[in-house]
Structure 1
Amino acid sequence: MRCPFCGYEDTRVLDSRELSEGRAIRRRRECPNCHARFTTYERYETGPITVIKKDGRREKFDRRKILNGLLKAFEKRPVTLEDIERIVDNVVSTLQKSGTVEVSTEQIGKIVMDELKKTDQVAYVRFASVYKDFREIDQFIEVIKELRQEAQKSGE
């Protein structure tokens, strides 16, 4: 692996950890030339998934878009990057297990929302506001009411 800082041809692996139930490997690396440290992730590739946008356009699925959306939703929340990566892995795994080659943004959003609901309610509301395109304060209140009702049912 080439060093992203100095371009040196070889780096040393300091630590490797399995992530997402073995679906990914996180490696801490160090460059012997400039001594910079960085992290890489290895994931296996599967067949391509096409995303159908709301306006009907189609584009190649990109996990980074989900990651970026989650990073915004979790901003200033007590959640680690590793936890966020796990959520992205779960979303991707759910899509792959479905066996479908085309998926709508609405389907992806629903899967992400289900994962967020289990992880952090504030991030859930933030993500929902963008995903559901909230335009009125009442929409926020409705989502919060739903979360409270679910929490009461589960005894939290």
Structure 2
Amino acid sequence: MKGIKIGNSRVLESRESADGITIRRRRETPDGKRFTTYERIERPNLAVIKSSGARELFERAKLANSIRRSVGKFFKSEVELEEIIDAVEDRAHSLGESEIESRLIGEFVLDELAKRNEVAYVRFASVFQKFKTLDDFVKILEQRRQKGQE
């Protein structure tokens, strides 16, 4: 919506999301136009330590693109992808550290995918763990079956 100033709007309704991290606000401008904003609690910056040793700030959008590229269209909706990213980000922040290895973030993603979609799990694992042969796929499938029997 072009030209709407949030500062001039009034809040009609506020709702906290189930996760307690996002607030949805329904707003109205002085001229009667209505719109919705979503506010997320700002957390301290989290640095990601890449396998090369380089450090960069954690970016939700970058993680989302990585998951989308490797998994494809195995999600029911964008909301499901956002839930996965929320869970991964929550786990990363719950460690209480200002830095986290990218490998650990990948493992958190795998944990979330394992709960939701086995094919998406295998696809992400194949990229994350850099599968080179069919044996790599067989090994991960056997590991999943063993975990399923536990």
Same fold (TM over 0.5): yes
Are 1:86 and 2:119 an aligned pair? no
What is the count of residue pairs matched by the alignment? 147
Q: Secondary structure at the match of 2:74?
A: coil
CA contact (8 A) 1:16 1:26 kept: yes
- Measured on the aligned residues, the alpha-carbon RMSD in Å equals 2.9
Q: Cα–Cα, structure 1 residues 77 and 41, in superposed 2: closer, same or farther, change >3 Å?
A: same
Deviates more, 1:123-132 or 1:63-72: 63-72
Which runs of structure 2 are paired with 1:64-75 in the superposition (5 Å)?
64-75=61-72
Structure 2 regions of 5+ residues with no counterpart?
Answer: none
Q: How far off is 1:148 after superposition?
A: 2.0
Structure 1 counterpart of 2:130, which letter?
A: D
1:22 aligned partner: 20
Q: Cα–Cα, structure 1 residues 149 and 14, in superposed 2: closer, same or farther, change >3 Å?
A: farther
When normalised by structure 2's length, the TM-score is: 0.79
Q: Cα–Cα, structure 1 residues 78 and 96, in superposed 2: closer, same or farther, change >3 Å?
A: closer
Deviates more, 1:76-85 or 1:6-15: 6-15
Q: Deviations over 1:39-78 (max 9, x none)?
A: 7532111111111111111111111122122223443325
Q: Cα–Cα, structure 1 residues 44 and 58, in superposed 2: closer, same or farther, change >3 Å?
A: same
CA contact (8 A) 1:12 1:30 kept: yes
CA contact (8 A) 1:20 1:86 kept: no
When normalised by structure 1's length, the TM-score is: 0.76
CA contact (8 A) 1:19 1:86 kept: no
Q: Cα–Cα, structure 1 residues 91 and 78, in superposed 2: closer, same or farther, change >3 Å?
A: closer
Q: Secondary structure at the match of 1:22?
A: coil
Deviates more, 1:112-121 or 1:71-80: 71-80
CA distance in 1, matches of 2:13, 2:81: 20
CA contact (8 A) 1:69 1:127 kept: no
Q: Cα–Cα, structure 1 residues 85 and 122, in superposed 2: closer, same or farther, change >3 Å?
A: same
1:102 aligned partner: 99
